[in-house]
Amino acid sequence: MGCNNKENYLFLYLNTGSGHRTPAAILKKAIEETYGDTVYLENGFSHKQHIAHAFFETGYHSSSATFPAIYSAFYDITTSKTVMNIIRFFVSLYTKHHIINLIKKYNITKIVSFHFALTPAAARAIRRTNPRIPLVTDITDPFSAHPAWFQENRTAFIVHSEELKNHILQTQPIKESQLVLKPFIFDKKFNAGYTDADIAELKDKHRIPQNDKVILIAGGGEGLPGVINLVTQFSLSKDITQAVSLIVVCGHNASSKTILEGLSIINPRIKLNILGYVNCMDELIKLSDCVITKAGASMLMQVMACKKPVIFSMFMHGQELGNVQFAINNKVGWLFTKPADILKQALRLCYDTEYKEKIKQNFDRLNIVSNVQTTAEFLHSYKGLS
């Protein structure tokens, strides 16, 4: 324990999409501002672990964005206990030493892992340095978790849904006392509470005509796969009879942005707004009538917190299936893979007033909100497994 009972946390993440690092950064800010503790946010792999970085980080980005079938096959293969044990052995072998060095360097008193590949190594590092250091694993997949999350059971698990908690108790040798149910971690700026006047102001800010219906297409930092075909379907449609502003966020995908900027829009009622990476996603979601995206957990929870209906154009097999099922089962989301079907549903969400009112009631019942403070309180008071 540090001076004046201040804690030194080690938050471990990998660059496998923003779903791991972003919640860690939000939680870091809440802990430091509330309790004055220090949180060190570190990549769990050292800079010398080139193969591990390539396998987990570069490989994830390449396969999920370009070759989803390869990612799906990899996901299925790694559910095998034998394969998981082999990967765990080689990953932990070097990662353990990196985490040991971090523990000593920063005089760490608590560790939180935000990626399943890092938890076993963190547990080993704790045993080698100070067994009294509490270890917590935040399962960043809210509704369906890969079995690799549970390779190390000498840890508390933060889960973000009753559905996942119940599934773990039914399928894993984990005690209920190890499972801590907390709200999904995302920025509070996505919480609902905005008015029609706020939406009007946001439309003015982003130069969207007040009377336009607004459809947002976004897919996270790398944009949405298949976005060019989707926008082409919109541009050729004869079903759009009223003014529609189509906002397309391409993220870091410069090639998609360039192609879409050169696209000729046949329907004069469509206003196409092509954006790159943005820091105002909360504003774009709030001014939209619906959101077309892939089924990433962070994007889904942000959209649901803003109480906007979501259309999934794709999802990553295994990892994101639970996200899709949750939205569909609660009648706030839909999965369509054909651009024509996506367009039809988007237009219904824009124009069918009675339909939209029913969806709003479903959102009110769900009451998805950001409340990172409850997780910060838990971590601050947590002393380890009894």
Q: Per CATH, which fold does 3-185+370-381 belong to? A: Rossmann fold (3.40.50)
Assign residue 193 a region (left: φ > 0; alpha: ψ between -120 and 50; beta: otherwise).
Answer: left
Which residue type does 119 have? T
**pLDDT number for residue 200:** 97
Q: With 0-12 CB in 10 A as exposed, 13-18 as middle and 19+ as buried, what is 9? A: buried
**Using one digit for the tens of pLDDT, what is the confidence trace for 299-328?**
999 999 999 999 999 988 778 899 999 999
Q: Summarize the confidence of residues 237-248 as an average pLDDT.
A: 90
CATH 3.40.50.2000 fits 190-366, yes or no: yes
Tokens of 305: 């917190």
**Model confidence pLDDT, tens digit, residues 247-305:** 999 988 888 899 998 887 777 889 999 999 999 999 999 999 999 999 989 999 999 99
What strands, in cross-sheet order, belong to the sheet with 290-294?
Answer: 270-275, 244-249, 213-218, 290-294, 310-314, 333-335
Q: Residue 305 has what pLDDT? A: 95
Encode burial over 352-378: b for 16+ CB neighbours within 10 A, e otherwise.
Answer: eeeebeebeebbeebebbbebeebbee
Partners of 312 in beta bridges: 293, 335
Q: What is the pLDDT of residues 155-190, one digit of tens each?
A: 999 999 999 999 999 999 999 999 999 999 999 999
Same topology for domains 3-185+370-381 and 190-366, yes or no? yes
- The 3-class secondary structure across 291-321, one letter per residue, is EEEECCHHHHHHHHHCCCCEEEEECCCCCCH
Q: Where are the domains of the chain?
A: 3-185+370-381, 190-366
Q: How far apart, in whole angstroms, are the C-alpha atoms of residue 14 and residue 28? A: 16
Q: Using the structure block, give the residue that is written with the tokens 């971090």.
A: 102
User: What Å distances lie between residue 103 and 91, 181, 251, 291, CA to CA?
Assistant: 18, 27, 35, 42
Confidence check: pLDDT of 1 > 60: no
CA separation for the pair 141, 156 (Å, rounded): 16
| Coil, strand or helix at 113 | strand
Which is nearest to 311 in space by CA: 281, 291, 337?
291
pLDDT tens for each residue of 104-163:
999 999 999 999 999 999 999 999 999 999 999 999 999 989 999 999 999 999 999 999
Question: Is the per-residue pLDDT at 55 higher than 90?
Answer: no
Neighbours of 44 (CB within 10 A): 26
Give the tokens for residue 254. 């410069």
Q: Are 244 and 270 in contact (CB under 8 A)?
A: yes
From start to end of the chain, where are the E strands? 8-13, 38-43, 110-113, 135-138, 156-159, 179-181, 213-218, 244-249, 270-275, 290-294, 310-314, 333-335
Say what percent of the chain tops pLDDT 90.
71
143-367-282 Cα angle (round to 5): 85
Cα–Cα distance for residue pair 299/289, rounded to 1 Å: 16
